[in-house]
Structure 1
Amino acid sequence: MKRKKNRGLEFLWGAIVLLLLCSIPVFATPKGFLELQFNQFHNSFSDIVFLALTQLGDGIIFVPFVILFLFWKTSFSIFLILCGLFNTILVSLGKKLLFPGFPRPAEFFKGVDFYQVPGVNLYHWNSFPSGHTTTAFSICFAFSIIFSKHPKIQRMMLILAIGIGLSRVYLMQHFFGDIWMGAALGLVATLAAREVTLRYFSGKKLKKPFIKTKPASILSLRKRIILQQKLAG
């Protein structure tokens, strides 16, 4: 990784502006009011979309990309590992130390009739912050940094991160305040991971792939096909 001033700034500033604009309605309205209003806008298509989106916020999503980047730049893999590590630390501190046992919507709205997406197992405790949203904003911000030369990718990543965050409210697994804080923590985790990577894991050796492969040339591949045809004939 190289230290560049424009690394993921479009994603970062877009996320910051979004958080600032949403902070007043999220924290100034009574808890549960916005969630019940949002819960009214449901249909079978949205159920499928948000169910798919929420899966992308699972922390396991880091693993395949860490492996893939080992074939490109080792420092990128280290960067993603650090993102996942810092995510885990921040979310664990929030859920288990600072805000243990905070009720989720399923517990908070006991006795209230709200729409539940079929097949979703609702959790009841440790609501704050949203771990899925933290993961979503962290990994999407990380990709925005890695592919900073492509503004369209940054915009797509921001839209994707927002969609994953909203899926947690749509599925009634979290409150808007939970995903707000999750988004903020995701940004912090990735900024911290980037700084550590630049300071300690940006040497020349780490800019090379950890797993080196030599893809076969078109000519050699053609020779193999011809040889196989001869053997088969």
Structure 2
Amino acid sequence: MSGDGAVITRPKKQFQWQGLHVPFIAPWSTEQHPPATIVLRTGVGGTGIGYADELSHVDRRRGVLWARQAVARGSGTPFLAGVHPLRQRQAMSHMLCQVCGESTHGSALRRWGERHLFVARAPKGRPLGEGEVTTTPPICLPCARESVGACPNLRKGWTAALAERALPWGVAGLGYDEKTLKPLPLPETGLHTVPIDHPRERWTLAMRDAVTLHGVTSIDLADLTRLGAGEGGAL
């Protein structure tokens, strides 16, 4: 910690695969999901799912059960299309770049009017809007420029925006049936999303943190690049 009270973090080690940066939030082949038995558990707040061998201080956050996954970043083969639950949560909680893992609280944040950059899939061209719910962590400009050219999903269409605030909204994960304790079918959009304090939270195995974006301004990455080079006005 520095003299002014700011927390100094060590730079995240960078890994490359086939000439591209491996996203910080991507899982690796050795980061397996350990065996876990889902059981009915009653505690503070009511009844829901739990692990048979649960450790509440490890397996839960804000009372919500989280998916277990080993941590061995950089070991094995990366799964570029996947998301590691813990690192995604860290990126959301601390506003870390989803690709390089570095803090997005820096000179760019000040240059952009205390706003963070978010880039998301937009195959139909829909921009990120005010109050948008997203499980996609922020990203720094160099990583954003690399990602929109390298990521197959983003090449199908993407949108970028600056956001003043990213506020906790809930989680995305696997929903479980209250009677059978079996996973529910997934919606077409992917994982089940559940807001904070919703009754379904206790029946959801969380795999992503979800936030809402506020003070949203759609932008072009080229405009941010020019601003970084000292060219023209505010965004």
Tell me if both proteins adopt one fold, taking TM over 0.5 as the criterion. Answer: no
| Greater RCO (CA < 8 Å, at least 6 residues apart) | 1
Tell me which protein shows more helix as a share of its residues.
Answer: 1
Query: TM-score, normalised to structure 1's length?
Result: 0.25
Query: TM-score, normalised to structure 2's length?
Result: 0.25
Tell me which protein shows more strand as a share of its residues.
Answer: 2
Q: Which has the larger radius of gyration?
A: 1
